[in-house]
Chains A and B, each alone.
Chain A
Amino acid sequence: MQILLALAKRLVLVLPVVWAVVTLVFLLIHIVPGDPVRNALGENATEQQLIELRQKLGLDLPLSQQYVNYWKGLLRGDFGASLVSGEDVFEKIMSRYPATIQLALAGLVVAILIAIPLGVTAGTNQGNWLDNVASVVSLLGISTPGFVLGPLMVYLFAIKFDLLPVGGRDGIEYLILPAITMGAALAAILTRMVRSSVIEELGEDYVRTARAKGLSEGQVIYKHVLKNGLIPVVTVLGLQFGVLLAGAIITETIFSWPGLGRLTVDAINARDYPVVQGCILMIALTYIVANVLTDFAYRLLDPRIKVE
């Protein structure tokens, strides 16, 4: 109960940020140079069509009224309607949302699976060749953008050796390449963190105690060092989850993954402004919530930080 209360308090603290994000997203349509309605309908639109669409979007109202209406809509779960198909934006987003979350989580898992063994190896072999190999691998990972790694893996694993599908979303085999594309850069960042964390913890007294009482080196690392060493890593995970969501825009484009990212790009190309606004808002809000949750998990994990 106390925990729920603390969580609620944290959520209240981010309300100003949520307000600012919603306001920024609302203002986006007003930074379109020229007439967004004409952009959306194209050159051949009649005057009547322009007026109708402007009315439908509420763009004929004063800005303050538009802002109030935007908020009212959001609170009812009404994100407006697509300019292209007339579909409800919120429904459209929700139908794509699970695919993106699945992809981002898979990317996170890939990153953790790579980073922990690699980081531990580097940290426990500080300064020797294994450490250097791990450093080079993680630097390469940081410098290889998804839009290079993704198509490269498509070429190797889908076209050349025909092991995995080129794109789309079906069975688990469709998830492998996109998840690696998403997770690679994060894996590289996490590897560096795990490494320095392990090095730091290895110098602590409890490690000497654990060794003195006869635990094997593996037990010392995985039972004691990692337990403490992973706490700072968890904070980064939350922040990075949001980066993954933004990265989904690129990964989903490469692999034709039917998620929020691809919806965003398609909507941008179609100048379907309400859909773009909705997608961006949804990604930003997910990011905020993920941050609050990690911050909270961090406090739970480390009893030295008081949950309040």
Chain B
Amino acid sequence: MNRLGKFGLVIIAIFFLVALLAPLLAPYDPRVQTPAKPGQSREERYQPSREHLLGQDDLGRDVLSRVMHGAKVSMQVGVMVVLISALLGMMIGAISGYYGGWIDRFFSGFLFNVFMSFPSLLLAIAMVAFLGPSLRNLILALSIIGWVGYARLIRGQVLKVREYDFVTAARAIGTGDFRIILRHILPNAIQPLIVQASLGMAGAVLSEASLSFLGLGVPPPTPSWGAMLNDARPFLRDAPHLLIFPGIAVMLTVLAFNFVGDGLREWLDPKQKR
């Protein structure tokens, strides 16, 4: 893989570790509000210090601990959304491409178009707005907007692969449809899926942060980067770092997954090298 891709992998590994080990690594409980020390002004409390490396937010919570725990929500949502939407998309895409006919016309001619005629973020906002904000609903909404990409991809691959001789051979010896799709077609369509999954992680992390920014993410006091960014806005004048640290976290994560996605694409398909 290219250098940027490897760099991305390292960043992702770090964020995953932080997410998993947040309770151990974080210096404070991210929900605990520490009152100002005697003689300490509000402005002073914001500032990074030896006890609070990235400072404290307006409620006196430790920013470093919140950024670390925020990784947990982002990674959790990202992984779940990619898993669910990839599985769903694979199933629908494979069925649509393999059977063709009216099934394909319904899925790829109609259903894909409906989902693509909604800006994806808008659909997620709409669903969470009506279902109510929670971790489960967030994952649900992002999976529902996410599957179409995988389905289209797999459908295209299946259309290509199903004409290969080994599929005809498998059918000739009486292999069932389900087994053909699972054992013969999907393994041959998996490479672009991995690339899509990496880019999908970037998209899911970004969407999660967007929804949390709008107050439609995981409800407080659970720390999430998007919510931290929104909370920081009224205090920009005195404490711009409240915005900058979670902002960097979101950007690094998204950038890393994009690097890995691009890197994988090149690595798996040397023809695309620019």
Residues of A in contact with B (beta carbons under 8 Å apart): 14, 16-17, 20-21, 24-25, 28-29, 31-33, 139-140, 142-145, 147-148, 151-152, 154-155, 159, 242-243, 245-247, 249-250, 253-254, 264-265, 268-269, 273, 276, 280, 283-284, 287-288, 291
**CB-CB contacts of B206-218 with A at 8 A, as 1s and 0s?**
1001100111100
Query: Are B117 and A284 closer than 8 Å at their CB atoms?
Result: yes
A139 to B255, alpha carbons, bound, how many Å?
A: 7
Note all chain A residues with C-beta closer than 8 A to B121: 243, 246-247, 249
A151 to B235, alpha carbons, bound, how many Å?
A: 11
A249 to B216, alpha carbons, bound, how many Å?
A: 12
- What are 19 sample pairs from A and B whose C-beta atoms fall under 8 A apart? A16-B110, A17-B113, A17-B114, A24-B118, A31-B130, A143-B255, A147-B230, A148-B243, A148-B251, A155-B236, A155-B237, A159-B236, A246-B121, A254-B233, A268-B216, A276-B129, A276-B130, A280-B122, A287-B119
Residues of B in contact with A (beta carbons under 8 Å apart): 110, 113-114, 117-122, 125-127, 129-132, 202, 206, 209-210, 213-216, 226, 229-230, 232-233, 236-237, 240, 243-244, 247, 250-251, 254-255, 258
Q: Knowing A142-B258, A148-B243, say if A21 contacts B118 (CB, 8 Å).
A: yes
Query: Are B130 and A246 closer than 8 Å at their CB atoms?
Result: no
Query: Are A33 and B131 closer than 8 Å at their CB atoms?
Result: yes
Q: Knowing A17-B113, A21-B118, A254-B233, say if A147 contacts B251 (CB, 8 Å).
A: no
Q: Knowing A32-B131, A139-B255, say if A250 contacts B110 (CB, 8 Å).
A: no
CB < 8 Å: which of B110, B117, B127, B230 contacts A288?
B117
A268 to B230, alpha carbons, bound, how many Å?
A: 16
A268 to B254, alpha carbons, bound, how many Å?
A: 27
Q: Can you name the residue of chain A whose Cβ is closest to the Cβ of B215?
A: A269
What distance in Å separates the Cβ of B43 from its nearest Cβ neighbour in chain A?
Answer: 14
**Number of inter-chain CB pairs below 8 Å:** 118
CB < 8 Å: which of B120, B216, B244, B258 contacts A143?
B258
A20 to B113, alpha carbons, bound, how many Å?
A: 10
Interface centre among A145, A269, A287 (most CB of B within 10 A): A145
Q: Knowing A142-B258, A145-B254, A246-B122, say if A151 contacts B233 (CB, 8 Å).
A: yes
Note all chain B residues with C-beta closer than 8 A to A288: 117
Q: Can you name the residue of chain A whose Cβ is closest to the Cβ of B236?
A: A155
A132 to B29, alpha carbons, bound, how many Å?
A: 42
Q: Can you name the residue of chain A whose Cβ is closest to the Cβ of B205?
A: A145
A33 to B130, alpha carbons, bound, how many Å?
A: 8
Note all chain B residues with C-beta closer than 8 A to A143: 202, 251, 254-255, 258
Q: Which 6 A-B pairs have the closest CB atoms?
A: A246-B119, A148-B247, A143-B255, A246-B122, A20-B114, A246-B121
A152 to B250, alpha carbons, bound, how many Å?
A: 14
Query: Are B130 and A250 closer than 8 Å at their CB atoms?
Result: no
A152 to B243, alpha carbons, bound, how many Å?
A: 8
CB < 8 Å: which of B126, B214, B216, B226 contacts A280?
B126
Interface centre among B125, B132, B255 (most CB of A within 10 A): B125
